[in-house]
Amino acid sequence: MLKIVTAITGASGVIYGKRFVEEVNRLGHKQTLLITEAGEKVLSQELDLSIKKDNPLASIQAEWDLSRPDLISREKIDDITAKIASGSRAPDAVVVIPCTMGTLARVAHGFSSNLLERVCDVALKENKKLILVPRETPLNQIHLENMLALKKMGADVVPAMPAFYNHPRSISELIDFVVGRVLDHLQLEHSLYQRWKGVHDNDDK
């Protein structure tokens, strides 16, 4: 069982974060959720999810498809005293999905102004898996240089770019492809998308 920190920022495409949380939960791994203030606003705007201030986790447990809600906890984004802020309690992996370019830039340059950025810093210094899923287009030079810097540091940059070789029939299939690629980088088995089998065989379902 892996211990994963899943972070949702204010980038458009929070559905990727939702599906990732659901699938990791279905696979039976522990997750600690971090959601930025902007992430909460986008969750409300794109998914009609209202985070309850008195019980933030309750909204997610009630509305998302979670087979094991007991495997999910949540930390406050500004609580730098949380256990996961320490290298001695580093999770197995940190996944920021979706990741704003602002968050990506601050992680690339070592800023730790909140728990999310600190956890990413911990992942890098402790040689743990760090996966960032940016959802931005077009990309400017700063974006590209920051992504290159993070890759050189050992992070995985997995842009939210769905494939079309498997003839997706719905938006859900496009989303699942991206989530599946993130799971691939965590070496977690799944069946979210059809893998490439060659030109002649890939139409076989």
Any known ligand binding at 10?
Answer: yes
Number of domains forming the structure of the chain: 1
Report the distance separating Cα 119 and Cα 136, nearest Å: 22
Does residue 204 form part of some domain? no
Does residue 153 form part of some domain? yes
Any known ligand binding at 101?
Answer: yes
Any known ligand binding at 74?
Answer: no
Please, where are the H alpha helices in 55-100?
Answer: 56-63
Does residue 202 form part of some domain? no
Q: Any bridge partners for residue 122, and if so which? A: none
Any known ligand binding at 12?
Answer: yes
Buried b (16+ CB within 10 A) or exposed e, 117-134: bbbbbbbbeeebbbbbbb
Q: The domain spanning residue 160 has which CATH number?
A: 3.40.50.1950
Any known ligand binding at 169?
Answer: no
Does residue 179 form part of some domain? yes
Does residue 194 form part of some domain? no
Report the chain's mean pLDDT, rounded to a whole number.
Answer: 94
pTM for this predicted structure = 0.94
Does residue 29 form part of some domain? yes
Tell me: the pLDDT tens digits for 63-117?
A: 999 999 999 999 999 999 999 999 999 999 999 999 999 999 999 999 999 999 9
Does residue 199 form part of some domain? no
Any known ligand binding at 102?
Answer: yes
Does residue 146 form part of some domain? yes
Domain that holds residue 124: 3-185
Q: Any bridge partners for residue 129, and if so which? A: 93
What is the band of 196 on the pLDDT scale with cuts at 50, 70, 90? confident
Any known ligand binding at 181?
Answer: yes
